[in-house]
Amino acid sequence: MAPSIPAGGRPSPVPAPAPASAATAASVGGPAAGLQAIREDLGDCQRCKLAGGRKTIVFGQGHPQARLMFVGEAPGADEDEQGLAFVGRAGQLLTKIIEAIGLTREDVYICNVLKCRPPQNRNPETDEILSCQPFLERQIETIRPTVLVGLGKFAAQWLLKTAEPITRLRGRLGDYAAAGPGGPIKVMATYHPAYLLRNPGAKKDVWEDMKVVRELLKE
């Protein structure tokens, strides 16, 4: 996927959620308050070994009633410094991907499987994923997006509860079995923006995936 707008002009924007203040969120059932409660329960998390090396917990950020939610792998160095998800080079590319389907970062919600940076950006380990899992599950259940996008192997495998490689999962729609009313949530597995920085030829594949996401959001 080219991060710039593809030939043929800017795509028609998908419906975006109306801007929400904290008061508005509270009046419609409290997704913003719900996310704040999850963050408070997370606290100064010491549930796994990553606590000793992190600078900042990266909880996630975005619209509390987002129809589109991105889940990545783990914070990197920039995210660990700022406490925000996807703010480095990969995050800048993700912003362009979001804008290419007619949305902004303020319209979506962005987080990671892990809330703390692994040393030297190594892969997440099973115990770390399990420690963060209840909080990510609650984030998804609170926001109840229309579509979840799993960015890269670890996010896609976690959302789809599979061990298949990202090369097989990419481009395939699946379901995330969220607790509570509303039934399963559609999942699109695609490549992580960091992978695209190393392999720019794969951008066209991600663009195809995001066109499917755009259509799902129009329904």
What's the pLDDT tens digit per position in 167-213?
999 999 999 999 888 889 999 999 999 999 999 999 999 999 999 99
CATH 3.30.1550.10 fits 28-218, yes or no: no
- The answer to whether the CB of 117 falls within 8 A of the CB of 124 is no
Determine the pLDDT at residue 163: 97
Domain boundaries along the sequence of the chain: 28-218
In this predicted structure, the answer to whether residue 9 has a pLDDT above a threshold of 80 is no
Question: What is the C-alpha separation between 19 and 129, in angstroms, rounded?
Answer: 32
Tokens of 7: 């030939």
- Identify which of 182, 170, 151 has the alpha carbon closest to the alpha carbon of residue 208: 170
Determine the pLDDT at residue 29: 54
- Identify which of 96, 102, 81 has the alpha carbon closest to the alpha carbon of residue 13: 102
In this predicted structure, the answer to whether residue 26 has a pLDDT above a threshold of 50 is no
Q: pLDDT class for 96, splitting at 50, 70, 90?
A: very high
Q: Angle at Cα 175 formed by Cα 15 and Cα 214, nearest 5°? A: 25
Rounded average pLDDT over 46-71: 98
pTM strictly above 0.85: yes
Q: What one-character-per-residue DSSP string does 15-47 give?
A: P-PPP--HHHHHHTT-HHHHHHHHHHHH-S--S
What's the pLDDT tens digit per position in 121-180?
999 999 999 999 999 999 999 999 999 999 999 999 999 999 999 999 999 999 999 988
Question: What is the C-alpha separation between 179 and 90, in angstroms, rounded?
Answer: 31
108: three-class secondary structure by DSSP: coil
Determine the pLDDT at residue 115: 98
Tokens of 168: 């097989």
